[in-house]
Amino acid sequence: MPAKLSVNLNAIAMLRNRRDLPWPSVTGIGRLALAAGAHGLTVHPRPDERHTRHSDLPEIRALIDDEFPDAEFNIEGYPTEDFLRLVEKNQPEQVTLVPDDPAQATSDHGWDFSGQSNFLTPVVKRLKKGGFRVSLFADPDPASVTAAADTGADRVELYTGPYGSFHDDSTGADKELERLGKTADAALAAGLSVNAGHDLTVANLPALTKRIPRLAEVSIGHGLTADALEYGMPQTVRRFLKACGW
């Protein structure tokens, strides 16, 4: 089965937050994405609420429950107690844990699984006890994924930012792609499923999904939102689904 597509709504929320107005509607755009075939919606509610607001989460949960019951809600963030309570309140299907400092503009590195296993393991246990699938943000490093599996997580999400940054350098992209592929191979061998996200585009998705044929899910925000300005959200979702192999 091709990789499922989860549309990250953070860029939509950030655009809305430029004015004290309700548009563009985060749930409205989410509805368009799901109606066009997206398999889920992703948000990263940061402590300062600079894009996705905490108040958006129950509305997205209700949208999926009421109109798209086969879709999934993915909430990502750094596992503070406040974040964990937010997750438990809004009941996503998947929680993606990222090692972000609150001041970071965006996620730009994976966990140090060996060095932070004592921190991550009880968090993963708590989330899994709550019935959530847990994914951990991971750098493309094959040697690290055994320690990721030891935390009890279900998946890793490969950080594809370096791969995306070589959009005009095919040699560099090929090297990064192989690092991602080897990491995915190691993760799958360790019993983990594999997601991917960051700076993925219609242009670079086909090679990624070819190298990682068992890729479970891609979460895409910036590139997809940029394309939606040109093509509209429904057509953009269809373009990304086609790039994933649907």
pTM of the model as a whole: 0.96
CA 136 → CA 12, 152, 154, 229, distances in Å?
24, 10, 8, 30
Q: Which domains does the chain have, with CATH numbers?
A: 4-244 (3.20.20.70)
Q: Which residues are catalytic?
A: 44, 76, 198
Strand partners, 74: 42, 94
- Cβ neighbors of 176 (< 8 A, separation 6 or more) are 140, 160, 162, 163, 166
Question: Which tens digits make up the pLDDT trace of 162-174?
Answer: 999 999 899 999 9
- 9: which residues sit within 8 A by CB, 6+ positions away? 26, 29, 30, 41, 42, 43, 52, 56, 60, 221
User: What pLDDT does 109 receive?
Assistant: 80
Confidence band, pLDDT 50/70/90 cuts, at residue 102: low
d(CA 120, CA 82): 16
pLDDT value for 104: 58
- 140 and 165 in contact (C-beta within 8 Å)? no
Residue 103 has pLDDT above 90, yes or no: no
236: pLDDT confidence band, cut at 50, 70 and 90?
A: very high
Write the pLDDT tens digit of every residue in 205-233: 999 999 999 999 999 999 999 999 999 99
* Token code pair at residue 89: 């309140």
